[in-house]
Structure 1
Amino acid sequence: MGMLRGGTVRRRFTILYAAGFLVSGIVLLALTYLMSGVRLSTVAPGQAPTPVPTGEPRLAAAEQRIRSLEGQLADVHGQQDQRLFLGSLIALVVMVGLSLLLGRFLADRVLRPLRLITAATRRISAENLHERLAVTGPADEVKELADTVDGLLERLEASFDAQRRFVGNASHELRTPLATLRASLDVAVAKPEPAAQTLALAGRLRTELDRLDHLLDGLLVLARAQHGAFADRTLVSLAELAREALADRAADIAAKDLALDAEVRPDAWSRGSGVLLSRTVRNLVDNAIVHNEAGGWIRVSADGDGAEARLVVETGGRVLDQGEVDRLGRPFERLGAARTGPEGSSGLGLSIVAAIVEAHGGRLSLQARPEGGLCVTVALPAASDRPDGAAKARVTA
């Protein structure tokens, strides 16, 4: 029973088929043996027929000879029955083995459409929900299952499209009132001799407006990354993007007195959206700076092995819980219970990175370092036509 409850459907089907064949063979063999026994019971070995009263010696000798022949015939029949039973038993064992092979073959044929449905469903992700199984054939249970999956994919595609359109449209529509609020603040501050309270309030409002604008920009990038359609797909160097991001944030790195160790190699090339991949690298660098301790360190490396182009950003700090780290790829997730992050953080940085990496067919790894801090690894498919001759660059600060 344990073998039937566990394992694959093919194994269970094969075992059930062989078990059914074995039971039917045993029943057939038992019936054959019983019928053979009935036949033998008519003439039992050594049983003498009813004697015929006679006194003649020759007739008595004939009767004795007849009894001897009947006994020999019964022995022959018994041996034949034993050989027949043994041969049937051997044939049953051989046929059980053949039934296992036949059951496996039949299970493969029966379950082949289900395997095709499973493989096709695995290939379909959020980026190609427009694909359908489109199983053809008779209107049986398998086709009904495939049609049900197609209907589910259609509903999922509509839901994903509606979500992306809402995020994009809402972000665009909110930019107009934000621009109006900024203009109103500028007008209020531009008046002759504005009150000190007005200037203080305008400063706080500008800070919140900048934060809201940053949030909307992040939502737009996230919606574009989740859509997965890149018109600007080109050859991109992760090493060059890392150098640019580190150079742009050099002042912030120095302000926090962070030790920087950056090693980028010329073979970290991939293909994709240059704008989105640049945003990915900048988000990782920004995250390493903003969520770092004063006087801490940052280690950035970029390399490739012909199959993947990798970017690794490591930071020191306190020991983090891996369960919380695993959730950082979701929108608005932060470490700890705080809902607002430092320096106007929107909580979208790593979720944007995760969406961009997934849209480019790569993988994102977030690992809490045992010594403390975080290690973020981005691996993208390497470009087959990457240029050669770029020199290895190493920056240490």
Structure 2
Amino acid sequence: MRTIRTRLALTYTALALVTAAVLLTSVNLSLHQRLRVEGGPEGPEAPVAPVLERPFAVPPEPRPRLVEEVVTYQWEVTGIAILVMALVSLAVGWFFAGRMLRPVHRITATARRLSLSNLHERIALAGPRDELRELADTFDEMLARLERSVEGQRRFIATASHELRTPLAVQRAAIEIGLPDDVGPVKGKLLAANRRSERLIDALLVLAQAEHGLEAPEEVDLAEVVRLAVAELDHGDVTVTVTAGPCPVLGDRTLLHRLVTNLAGNAVRHNVPGGTAGITLTGGVLRVVNTGPHVPPERFGDLFAPFRRIGTTRTQGAGLGLSIADAIARAHGARMEARPNPGGGLALVVRFPPVS
């Protein structure tokens, strides 16, 4: 793939070569024509000095042959000059193209380095107010608008977390304390609805937090997170096996714990009675496999979509488990894939980037 710097250097070289070739060719043709007119058989001849009679005298060389030798030598010099000019113009073009594109490299490096945790950085390009300076200033203005938007969304999440959880907590306390036990199923149904609302709000807040990226990532041993999450999981009648080697990951421990919990919980919840679920972590690849029901291939696109359920009822969850896991994985620079497990079930694979 040719870069812009390469194309600019080649363009400069081509222009220099075309100009030099036209100039040198015109000079050579003019010189050739002049020599032929002046020194040809029909042209004026210079007086020839008498040759003294002496043994072994060398006769003078014919003038047309001398003209051909001069013209041939001139074309050889021209070819060498064009070759040297090509190399010099290529080097000069490469150097000046790099100088001209240096601000573009700075803009690219800044854009590649930016994330939601360092939106305060700016390019702040100095120099003459040209097109590149205008591009850098426009990019800085866009970053300022994006930073204000992200800060506003973070404040909204924090406010929503407080404003939504507090009424539900008050409601749960009122149900547990205010309603007598003799109301029977009504109290249990109200408490179950209250808990589902709390879980839904928690899931939405975690999803929003994951989609806004990581604020202060740190090195976390994912193997410890996996073992802790599986130990806290309610296995039921499903046999869960864990194989996890040391795996350092740069990220947020709480979000990683939620990712593993969602994947393991999904493998246990969507399983067959007496089934199995295997969790392996090797080489930065987390794999969760279960023996659940068969998932149609045309439904694989709905696995990571929010509020989508496959073969479950609304009482089994909000349909956010895999959506949250996918958002957390993307926030950590990981890639999540879903594959059908032979015999039924799913194989969920999360590939984490290495810690540099």
What TM-score, normalized to structure 2?
A: 0.78
Residue 15 in structure 1 maps to residue 10 in structure 2: yes
Instruction: Give the Å deviation of 1:172.
Output: 1.8
Counterparts of 2:127 and 2:303, CA distance in 1: 44
Paired residue for 2:271?
292
State the match for 2:317 in structure 1. 345
TM-superposed CA distance for 1:111, in Å, is 1.5
Residues 178-224 of structure 1: CA deviation (Å, up to 9, x unaligned): 24444554577428x65xxxx55554443332211101122333445
AA matched with 2:337? L
Equivalences for 1:58-97 in 2 at 5 Å? 72-97=62-87
1:260 aligns with 2:240: yes
Counterpart for residue 211 of structure 1: 196
CA drift of 1:314 comes to 1.9
Distance 1:323 1:70, change over 3 A: farther
Q: Quote the offset at 1:368 in angstroms.
A: 1.0
CA offsets per residue over residues 281-335 of structure 1, 9 Å max, x none? Answer: 32222121122233432002345x6xx5x6432223425649946962x6x2536
Comparing 203-212 and 20-29, the one that deviates more: 203-212
Q: Kindly tell me: are residues 270 and 97 of structure 1, through their superposed partners in 2, closer, same or farther at Cα, counting changes over 3 Å?
A: closer
379 and 343 in structure 1: CA distance in 2 versus 1, 3 angstrom threshold: farther
Is residue 109 from structure 1 mapped to residue 99 from structure 2 by the alignment?
yes
SS in 2 for 1:313: strand
8 Å CA contact retained: 2:122, 2:140: yes
What is the rounded CA distance, in whole Å, between the counterparts of 2:298 and 2:338 in structure 1?
Answer: 7
- From 246, 252, 257, the counterpart of 2:230: 246
Percent of counterpart pairs with the same letter?
36
SS of the residue aligned with 1:163? Answer: helix
Cα deviations by residue, 1:69-105 (Å, 9 ceiling, x for unpaired): 9993344234212211221122212322332232222
- Structure 2 segments unaligned to the other structure (5+ residues): 51-58
- In the alignment, which of 320, 339, 356 is matched to residue 368 of structure 1? 339
Contact 1:46/1:71 (CA < 8 Å) preserved in 2?
no
Matches of 1:281 and 1:49 in 2, distance apart? 100
- Alignment match, 2:56: none
Structure 2 counterpart of 1:312, which letter? R
Q: Secondary structure at the match of 1:301?
A: strand
In the alignment, the residues of structure 2 paired with residue 153 and residue 322 of structure 1 have an alpha-carbon distance, to the nearest angstrom, of 39
What SS does the aligned partner of 2:62 have?
helix
Distance 1:322 1:70 in 2: 95
Which amino acid in the other structure matches residue 87 of structure 2? G
Q: CA deviation at 1:370?
A: 5.6
Tell me, in whole angstroms, the C-alpha distance in 1 between the residues paired with 2:149 and 2:166: 27
Q: Which amino acid aligns with 1:349?
A: G
Is 1:228 aligned to residue 214 of structure 2?
yes
Query: After superposition, what is the alpha-carbon deviation per residue over 1:348-368, rounded to whole angstroms, capped at 9, x for unaligned?
Result: 333433454555x56243231
Matched residue type, 2:261:
R
